[in-house]
Amino acid sequence: MKSTPWHQEQWFTSPWNFAQEALKDFDFAKQIKFHDVTLRDGEQQAGIIFNKEQKIALADQMAEMGMHRIEAGMPAVSAQDREAIIEIAKRHEGRGEPEIFAFARCMKQDVLKAVDCGVKGIVVEIPASEHLVKYAYKWEYEKAIDLAIEATQCARENGLYTVFFTIDGTRTDMDTYFNLVTRVANEGHMDALAVVDTMGGLAPHACNYLIKKIKTVVDKPLEVHFHDDYGLGAANTLMALSAGAEVAHTSISGIGERAGNAAYEDIALALLTMYGVDTGLKYEKMNELSEMMRKFGGHIIPSNRGIVGPTLADIESGIVADWWVNAHEEHPLEVSPYMYSLVGHPDAKVVIGKMSGVPTVDIYLDQLGLRCDDKDQKMEIVQAIKTKAFEKHGLLTVGEFADIAHKVLD
């Protein structure tokens, strides 16, 4: 790696990311893992359904990409979910990674169903906040604690790596939170604690404090499960990892309940290019995995979504098209933050639309083998493109451009 970690062959970010003053409080774990929740929490997004075969195929593709853990589902949801979990666990048994986990409510019967699926680990959930227990569950708080203790004991007795998952933990009074966690750790069992921002209401500036505070009380690995209701899921996860959390719960392209989960693509690429942390994923498979998920789930993402958006690399504006003409062959990172091939995305291309200028005209005239040295004619083509784009309310095809060019030049 070059001595400028912000500017490598495949990316060009900001040197300020690596200023010593910016880095001085970071405490990244030696190994950061991704725990993918697409097949469970991701499928909780309204309208998304993956059948058994699709879940198996997604798990196989995640394994190919190097995902560290896969939360294969919740056996109690349906027979189909249970069958998918069993098959996924069987296919990846004994391979090291990905480790296959199941998800369970804090109920002994849920844990036993996960045991029967042959998974290596389990995520056991319980509401942490007294208000959620009171108003959403209609329980006494002590019931939640008792159930958590019983379920986590059961998980340990059956040899499962147990992640204790504190629903709505970030909206919980701190004393209440630590009382719950310490009681489950002492009377029940946890191999790791998942800090959960169920409603996405945690702010980035609080993450460093929160993770370090929890580490003073809980001598267990910390995992973070942050939702994206304020668009901060990835940022919060990065901040939590920089404070020493070891595992990031994420989903493919951010799908999940309501606004979704933190997207693993955003976090993994930012870690690599902005923090110098390589998590070992095969980054070039990111776009392929996202496309598979979207196809299976009938899910549409913003076309210009970072990393995996289908039109992310399209260039319409004349000034940027001019940059691309001048720089893309020898200095492509002058016009993009990373090489699109790094994440398996098609390369940048100039498209034809309302924002096009003379550079776009030159590109497509050359592509069509047409010659024009008259600046006024080129401007006439530009104006005709803009008029047509307004009429279409969208981009022009090469054929439509050719029709305009021939009308002006012939």
For residue 254, report the phi and psi dihedrals to the nearest 5 degrees.
80, 20
Q: Do the beta carbons of residue 74 and residue 102 sit within 8 Å? A: yes
Residue 282: how many other CB atoms lie within 10 Å? 13
Q: Which pLDDT score is estimated for 112?
A: 97
Q: How far is CA 381 from the centre of its chain?
A: 42
For the four alpha carbons of 368, 372, 373 and 377, in that order, the dihedral sign comes to negative
The DSSP annotation for 322-381 comes to: HHHHHHTTT-GGGSSSB-GGGGTPPPPEE-BSTT--HHHHHHHHHHHT-----HHHHHHH
Across 199-233, b (16+ Cβ under 10 Å) vs e yields bbebeeebbbebbbebbeebebbbbbbbbbbbebb
Q: Which pLDDT score is estimated for 384?
A: 97
Conformation bin of residue 251: beta by default, left when phi > 0, alpha when psi is -120 to 50: beta
Q: Do the beta carbons of residue 31 and residue 280 sit within 8 Å? A: no
Domains and CATH numbers, the chain: 15-297 (3.20.20.70), 314-409 (no CATH)
Calculate helix-pair angle for 398-409, 358-368, nearest 10 degrees.
90
Give pTM, 2 decimals: 0.95
Q: Give the containing element (helix H, strand E) for 256.
A: none
Amino acid identity of residue 240, one-letter, is A
Q: How far is CA 410 from the centre of its chain?
A: 51
Quote the CA–CA distance of 135 and 145 in Å, as a whole number. 16
Written as tens digits, the pLDDT of the chain (410 aa) is 678 999 999 999 999 999 999 999 999 999 999 999 999 999 999 999 999 999 999 999 999 999 999 999 999 999 999 999 999 999 998 788 899 999 999 999 999 999 999 999 999 999 999 999 999 999 999 999 999 999 999 999 999 999 999 999 999 999 999 999 999 999 999 999 999 999 999 999 999 999 999 999 999 999 999 999 999 999 999 999 999 999 999 999 999 999 999 999 999 999 999 999 999 999 999 999 999 999 999 999 999 999 999 999 999 999 999 999 999 999 999 999 999 999 999 999 999 999 999 999 999 999 999 999 999 999 999 999 999 999 999 999 999 999 999 999 98
Query: Which tokens go with 180?
Result: 């719950």
Q: Which pLDDT score is estimated for 3?
A: 87
Q: Which of 353, 382, 352 is nearest to 367 (CA)?
A: 352
Conformation bin of residue 200: beta by default, left when phi > 0, alpha when psi is -120 to 50: left
In the block, residue with structure tokens 């598979």: 292
Amino acid identity of residue 149, one-letter, is I
Q: Which pLDDT score is estimated for 93?
A: 85
Pairing of strands 314-315, 69-71: unpaired
For residue 171, report the phi and psi dihedrals to the nearest 5 degrees.
-110, 20
In the block, residue with structure tokens 């029940």: 188
Contacts of 67 (CB under 8 A, 6+ apart): 34, 36, 97, 98, 264, 281
Calculate helix-pair angle for 204-217, 233-242, nearest 10 degrees.
40
Q: Which pLDDT score is estimated for 1?
A: 61
Amino acid identity of residue 56, one-letter, is I
